[in-house]
């Protein structure tokens, strides 16, 4: 069956100046612009965010710890061109996949090799290498309208609502049917 879904984009968020970019999740979107808009609504409503980036999921070159044990991984078909690559790693099950830095490399494989040399002690359940030219980022000028309003919204908190309790009372007292 053909896949009728829009392409998947990986979403990265920087919460505060000192924080690394963190992987937040994925959205479907017809293009990068819409992916940023969707990402804002899905992931940046409550938490604080300074900026957001998206990249088509299929352009991420990823290797798990297990896959790296097979030394042939570096001899697969070369992916990517000479440019800057962003290096991400997920250190533990409970921690987010986050950016460690970036390297200039000739391909995705080359970038990962350099990353493994540059961060020899890095614990990583998996590594991601992302071609810098394929990332789309939110504009700093848009940060106010994209992220700031979400911050002070108490009505996004479930605890602000007594609806569930009230509806239960209504049903119990027979004021509302079904």
Partner 1 sequence: MANVLADYLIALADDELILGHRVSEWCGHAPILEEDIAFANIALDEIGHARLWLELAAKELGEDPSTFPDKQAFFRSPADYRNLPLAELPNGDWAFSMLRQYLFDSFELARLEALNQSTHTGLSELAAKIRTEELYHLRHTQAWVLRLAQGTEESQQRSQKALNALWPHAQQFSSPLPAEEELNNEKKVPSSSELFSPWVSHQSDFFDEIGLALPPQTNSIDADRFTHTEHLTELLSDMQEVARLVPEGRW
The residues binding partner 1 (CB under 8 A) are 6, 27-30, 33-34, 37-38, 40-42, 45, 142, 144-146, 148-149, 153, 155-156, 161-163, 166-167, 170, 175-176
**On the CB side of 154, how many CA atoms lie within 13 Å of its CA?**
3
In the complex, the smallest distance separating the C-beta of residue 60 from partner 1, rounded to whole angstroms, is 19
Which of 31, 67 has the CB closer to partner 1? 31
Dist CA 16 CA 32 (whole Å)? 23
Residue 90 and residue 117: Cα distance in Å, rounded? 17
- Name which of 60 and 143 has its Cβ closer to partner 1: 143
- Phi-psi label, residue 116: left if phi above 0, alpha if psi -120 to 50, beta otherwise: alpha
- Least distance in Å: CB of 155 to partner 1? 7
Nearest approach, Cβ of 33 to partner 1 (angstroms)?
Answer: 6
């Amino acid at each position: 069956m053909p896949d009728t879904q829009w392409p998947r984009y990986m979403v990265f968020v920087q919460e505060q100046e000192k924080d690394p970019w963190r992987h937040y999740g994925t959205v479907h979107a017809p293009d990068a612009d819409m992916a940023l808009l969707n990402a804002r609504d899905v992931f940046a409503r409550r938490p604080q965010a300074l900026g957001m980036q998206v990249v088509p999921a299929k352009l991420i070159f990823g290797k798990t710890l297990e896959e790296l044990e097979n030394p042939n991984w570096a001899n697969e078909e070369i992916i990517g061109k000479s440019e800057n690559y962003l290096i991400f790693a997920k250190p533990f099950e409970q921690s987010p996949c986050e950016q460690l830095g970036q390297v200039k490399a000739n391909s995705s494989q080359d970038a990962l090799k350099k990353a493994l040399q540059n961060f020899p002690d890095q614990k990583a359940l998996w590594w991601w290498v992302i071609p810098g030219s394929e990332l789309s980022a939110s504009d700093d000028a848009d940060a106010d309208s994209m992220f700031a309003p979400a911050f002070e919204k108490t009505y996004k908190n479930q605890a602000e609502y007594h609806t569930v309790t009230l509806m239960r009372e209504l049903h119990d007292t027979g004021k509302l049917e079904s």
